Amino acid sequence: MVETDEKQTPVDTATRDAQVEEIARRLGVRAERGRRFAELTSLRVGGVIDWLLVPESEEEAAATVGALEDAGIAWRVLGAGSNVLADDREHRYVVVSMREVKGGARFEGERVSVSAGFSLPRLCVEAARQGLSGIEGLGGIPGTVGGALWMNAGAYGHEIGQVVESVRVARGGRVVEVPGSEVSWDYRHTSFKEGELLLGCTLKLTPDDAEKIKARMDEAKQKRFATQPHGARSAGCFFKNPPGSGFSTGKMIDEMGLKGERRGGALVSPVHANFIVTEGEEAKAADALALAEEIRERFRREHGIELEYEVELWGADEEFKDEGSEEGEGETGKG
Ligand code: EPU
């Protein structure tokens, strides 16, 4: 089941393992081996993670990736894992989990400062309670603040980028503050680069009546509840809507009659056709990917449109640090 990475000799692996161990020990960061993406992502599929590092503060997270970079060790960052499809093979880079970098949301006037691992739905609830408006549309998105910043999460008229005053980013092992105005906040895409770790942010919100904010948040949640699958193993919308077209990819896949279409343990959600959900113990990342590629192929044929992935595809042997993709899946979906 596990493929060996041809580029790494056993000596390389042993040296790297010793280096990762030393970094974790020196920085006092929890290190776990043998975890699986199937346990750490909402699609509940995906292979073994060689090393999982779990820092507990923004400073610790910055120092961790700084040390990994100094040692030339490839890493990737995972938040709630609610927008990631990792393939079934053994992933030999270090995964830095931001889940424990959460602390509490710190409110001051119209501003709130929060760390990357903090839950986005929880932040929306707390902001509403404080009488602060601007993110209530995002209330039902099951991710971390870091993940939301990374891809400029949006729903029901709100996008997180619209209210970001500054973002804290890891640079050279330290926490550096970047003004939100220096970041491009596009549709499900930002100018942050692979290799850049987002640690937290300060949002500037708008005072409003707490009850009204809560009512808008509840309305968005109800809409989501009525039109999107809940409780299912999904990664949200799988594809972006075609840019500038005003079309809904979900509606178009639905009209193509693909709701319920299945490949192994993956199927097009019968509730919203832009959701691929997985079912059963035997479900594989390969099932979801095969189904997604089948949809893209049909979409190309019937509409002449090349669907772009909205979820991130993580290949075990992808040269992600160089933005390259040599073979296999090719598409990285980060575009
Ligand atoms: N529709 C169908 N069949 C379907 C799905 C949708 O007919 O299977 C129809 C709906 O009835 C509606 C229209 O298509 O008339 C648009 O649907 P929806 O309101 O669900 O919007 P969407 O464009 O499919 C986008 C985002 C969602 C976000 C909602 C609400 C993308 C790719 N999707 O969906 O984001 O929650 O708007 O703002 O931009 C996500 O990012 O993961 C995500 C789910």
Full DSSP string of 209-248: -HHHHHHHHHHHHHHHHHHS--SSB--SBSBPPPTTT---
- Determine whether 310 is an active site residue: yes
Distance 250 CA to ligand 1 centre (A): 6
Half-sphere exposure of 318 (CA within 13 A, CB side): 23
For residue 240 and ligand 1, the question of a CB distance below 6 A is answered with yes
d(CA 313, CA 43): 12
* Measured distance between the N- and C-terminal CA atoms of the chain, rounded to whole angstroms: 30
- Give me the catalytic one of 124, 224, 237, 263: 237
- Going by C-alpha positions, the residue among 256, 248, 237, 235 that lies closest to residue 300 is 256
The whole-number pLDDT of residue 243 equals 85
Question: Which residue type is seen at 304?
Answer: G
Residue type, 95: V
Q: Which of 188, 224, 233, 263 is catalytic?
A: 188
Cβ–Cβ contacts within 10 Å for residue 175, how many? 17
Per-residue confidence (pLDDT) for residue 319, from 0 to 100: 54
- For residue 248, the CA-to-ligand 1 centroid distance in Å is 6
Residues in the chain: 335
> Does 234 sit in the ligand 1 pocket, CB within 6 Å?
no
156 lines ligand 1 (CB under 6 A): yes
Positive or negative torsion for Cα 45, 294, 229, 308: positive
Do 201 and 191 meet the contact criterion of CB atoms below 8 Å apart? no
Q: For tokens 């059963």, what's the residue? A: 280
Q: Which residues, in sequence order, are CB contacts of 320 under 8 Å at separation 6+?
A: 74, 76, 93, 194, 314, 332
**Cβ of 230 below 6 Å from ligand 1:** no
Angle 120-129/210-227 helices, nearest 10 degrees? 150
The pairing of beta strand 91-97 with beta strand 185-186:
unpaired
- 159 Cα to the center of ligand 1, angstroms: 15
- Give 10-residue mean pLDDT values along the chain (335 residues): 45 88 98 97 98 98 97 96 97 96 96 98 98 96 97 96 98 97 97 94 98 97 95 96 90 98 98 98 97 98 96 83 34 28
Strands 84-86 and 312-314: parallel
For residue 216, the model assigns a pLDDT of 97
CA of residue 166 relative to chain centroid, distance: 20
Residue 32 · residue 97 · CB < 8 Å: no
* Phi, psi values for residue 275, rounded to 5°: -105, 130
- Residue 211 a catalytic site member: no
What are the beta bridge partners of residue 53?
Answer: 31, 96
* Residue 214 Cα distances to 104, 109, 132, 133, angstroms: 21, 19, 10, 9
237 is known as an active-site residue? yes
Query: Is the distance from CB of 132 to CB of 138 less than 8 angstroms?
Result: no
For atom 21 of ligand 1, which residue has the closest CA?
Answer: 248
138 close to ligand 1 (CB < 6 Angstrom): no
Closest CA to 98 of 142, 64, 47, 56: 56
107 lines ligand 1 (CB under 6 A): no
Q: For residues 163 and 138, is the Cβ–Cβ distance under 8 A?
A: no
What's residue 10's pLDDT? 53
Atom of ligand 1 nearest to the CA of 155: 38
Which amino acid appears at position 235 of this protein?
A
